[in-house]
Structure formats: C-alpha cells, structure tokens
Amino acid sequence: MRPKILIVDDEEPFREDLAKLAVLRGFDCSTAGDIKTGAEIAHSIGPCAVLCDVIMPGGGAIAFLRSVSGQEEIGVFVMTAFGSLETAMDAFRAGAVDYLLKPLNIDEVLRKVRGFLEHRDSIREVRALRHELSRLDEPDHVVGSGAAAAALQDFIQQVAPVRTTVLITGETGTGKEVVARSIHASGPWRSEPFLAVNCAALPETLLESELFGHEKGAFTGAVGKKMGLFEAAGDGTLFLDEVGTLTLGSQAKLLRAVEGKQVTRVGSTRPQVVSARIIAATARDLQKAAKEGEFRDDLYFRLAVMEIHLPALRERRGDIPLFVEHFVRKFSAELGKRVKGVDPPTMQRLLTYSWPGNLRELQNIIERGVILARGEQIGLAQLPVSVSGDAPDVECPDDLRSARKAFEREHIRQVLAASGGNVHEAARRLGVDPATLYRKHAEPGDPGG
C-alpha cells in the first residue's frame, strides 16, 4: 500500500507540483490550501505524514499541529521560506517532526518522510508485541495439587527471581508455555514483555530474521529495518518453543546469542546488546539428540542451567478434577455461559481417558463442552466421540459365545454411561425393556459391576 501524505500550502502551483513529484516517487498525495480544509482531510484519510507551511492566511503550521494533536501517528513536517530559530522552536514544541526550508529538495524531503515512517512502524511493532505477547492469562497459572505440582511450584518460585536460562521438557500439550509464563509473571520483570516463538513453525532463513532482526535490503522483501525478538523482549522473557527442531546452523547462532548476550541483525555487521531471559522448551530428549550428533551439547548445557520435566496428564490423573474445574470456570466466564461443572459419569470418563494430547486436549474438550452444554453441567453427550467412546480395551475370549457376551457387556456399559446411569433411558436406546437390562446388569461380570 502506498503511504499517504497531505500537503497544506496556500500557494497552489507549489503544492500541486510538490504533490505530482511525490506521486511519481511512490506516495498517494492529497492537498489543501488552508488549515481548516487540511485538518478536515487529515481527520478523514489519516495520512502518515503532512507537509505544512508555517505562515498562511487563517493560521499556519502551529494551528494545524494543534488541530491534529490527538492523532499521534501523523508526522507533521513544517515548511517555510523564512526560517528562524524562534519559529522552529515553536513548531517543535507543538509536535513537529522536522523543519524544512524552501525551496525544497524533494528527494531529501521524501527521504526524511520515509525515515519517519520506518521509525514509526518500529515503535508500533514494539507496542503491539508488548501488548499482545506480554498478555498473561492469569488462570493458566494453575499447575495442580499433587506432589508433582508442588515440586513444579517450588521450581517456579526458585527460578523466577533470577535471570538464568531455563529448559522445560515434556510431551506436547503438557503446559510448557504455561509454566514459562508463570516463571515470567512470578519474577521482578513481570511488567516487561513475554515474547514467544515456535521454532518448528518457521524455516531457518525466516527464523534468523525473526530472532535477530534484519536491515533494509538484507534479502528480497526486506523493505525496511526489523527489530528481532531478542531485542524486542527488552528485559523480559523470550520463550523458544520446540527448540529441539533447530538445525545445527541455527543452533550455533542461537548459542552465540545466548552466551554473548549480543545479536547481529541479518545484513548488518554491528552487534546489538540484548538482556532478555531465555526460556526454552522441547518435547525431544536433547541429551539423546546430543549423543547422536543432532543437537549441540554446548547449547544443551547452556539452555539447561535450570531444567524441569513436566509429566504427562495420564501420569497425574489426580489433578484432572482441578483442571476441569478451572477450565469450566474460565470458559464459562469467557463465553457467557452458566456451566458449573461436569456430571459424575463424565468426570469418570475424563479420569480414565488416555489423554494423548495432555492438558491442551483437556482444555479444548472442556471449551467444547461449555459451548454445547444445555444446562449447568457438561455431560457425556458433549464430549467428542474419541473421548466418550474411548473405553479400556476389552479382553476378548477365544470362543464366540464368551466374546459376544464380553462385547455386549462393554456396549451396555458405554450406553449406560452416555445415559448418565439412567437404566430406563439406556434401555430405550438399546431397544430392550428395562427388565431385560436389569437382568443383564446383574449378570456376573456385568457392566455396572
């Protein structure tokens, strides 16, 4: 998109000629012959820059600056044929970006405009990163109540006040980023940014630019300078997720940055000092990868100054009710629902499910359940079939008669669970009368046991 500029000057030939030259150099240009019209256009189109004459009938650049004082991202360049220190100081006090003397060198003027735009975009990018990526979702600090949870809480409290590197390992979905955010939020730098990047999601060339930044023209498409995440994180935290997927080349560059606390933007030779704390995470066994020559052992030792492993959800089933309560409360508030929990058959199902997707899968399932729930509780009908129908494997005897009975028992058990334990409803679904179901329910090895 071509940047928009506005030229405000009472000399029509001058402003129109200037506008034509700016258009030829890649800008969209609007013009106004007085302050009132210029202010109306500025509020209407939101130009990125304005070139305004200091002295005009009805008020000059100072009056224009006051009229757009609420539009902080507009850069106002003051023009005059009669320059003086006093008018320059007045313009800067009113918020002018620069002071231009007529006759103008159009290429020099537009170079200054582009410089202002690059600086503004860098500030805007940093603000956006700080606002979006340092946002902490407070309820996600829940880590459970068992022995593993107590050890994790103790670990967080130990590492939060220091700036040492941390390595978090565990299966996908175990909450590694949640722990990283908890460490950040529990430390003295909690007001600084928390920036996250998934190392597996970007090719090597783009990852380097994302982490270290680049200079204008460093590669095709690099139309301006870009600050990398190491710099943008400031004194906050940079979270490197899936660090085990990095190539050996990227590992070497990351090691230099972590060890030397300096980064060099792509296309530059000047290093930038950085101070962000590094927290890395991986589902891969990095010690094994290092022995096999697939991960640098020096980088592993640098990242794992403090290391913690997060157990899979199936290894901490006692915490499932706590997580369920937390997610129900969270999503009920977010979605404006009045769901208060899950019914007993559903909780039993959640406690026996294998959880291949760990905490992330549980969170998604509860969000779905809250959306679909018709009352105050989530039932089995609101769970995905992959969860509600994932019963423990049934031992199947060799002989056909026993195998049929085993299958029948398991099928009745699932229908009873889906019916909330209501025998009459289960009988209706199975197409049998309740007496038959009661009889089968009482048989040895029955599903209700």
Question: What is the dotted CATH code of the domain comprising 4-123?
Answer: 3.40.50.2300
Integer Cα distance of 262 and 270 in angstroms: 10
pLDDT for the residue numbered 342: 93
Q: Where does 316-387 sit in CATH, by number?
A: 1.10.8.60
Q: What is the rounded distance in angstroms from the CA atom of residue 69 to the CA atom of residue 204?
A: 44
Domain 4-123 and domain 400-442 have a common topology = no
Provide the residue-wise pLDDT of the chain in tens; the chain has 449 residues.
788 899 999 889 999 999 999 999 889 999 998 888 888 888 888 888 899 888 887 777 888 887 776 566 788 888 887 766 677 677 777 778 888 888 888 888 888 888 888 777 766 655 555 444 444 344 344 456 666 777 888 899 899 999 999 999 999 888 899 899 999 988 899 889 999 999 988 888 788 888 998 887 777 666 677 888 999 999 999 999 999 999 999 999 999 999 989 888 888 888 888 999 999 999 999 999 999 999 999 999 999 999 999 989 888 888 888 889 889 999 999 999 999 999 988 998 998 888 888 998 999 999 999 999 989 999 999 998 888 864 444 444 556 566 666 667 766 766 665 555 666 667 777 777 766 766 665 554 444 43
Q: What one-character-per-residue DSSP string does 15-46 give? A: HHHHHHHHHHTT-EEEEESSHHHHHHHHHHH-
- pLDDT at position 102 is 83
Taking the CB of residue 268, how many other CB atoms lie within 10 A of it?
Answer: 15
Distance, C-alpha 405 to centroid of its chain = 51
pLDDT at res. 445: 46
pTM for this entry: 0.56
CATH of domain 400-442: 1.10.10
In this structure, which amino acid lies at residue 280?
Answer: A
What is the structure's pLDDT at 160? 92
User: Which of 308, 325, 334, 344 lies closest to 416 in space, CA to CA?
Assistant: 344
Burial class (CB in 10 A: 0-12, 13-18, 19+), 341: middle
pLDDT of residue 287: 92
Categorise residue 64: left if φ over 0, alpha if ψ from -120 to 50, beta otherwise: alpha
What pLDDT shows up at residue 315? Answer: 86
- Per the CB < 8 A criterion, the answer to whether 96 and 76 are in contact is yes
Are residues 143 and 153 in contact, defined by beta-carbon separation less than 8 angstroms? yes
Distances (CA, A) of 382 to 162, 286, 411: 44, 39, 19
The domain locations on the chain are 4-123, 138-311, 316-387, 400-442
- The bridge status of strand 166-170 relative to strand 277-282 is parallel
What number of residues does the chain have? 449
Using an 8 Å Cβ cutoff, are 204 and 248 in contact? no
Query: For 138-311, CATH number?
Result: 3.40.50.300
Give the model's pLDDT for residue 244. 93
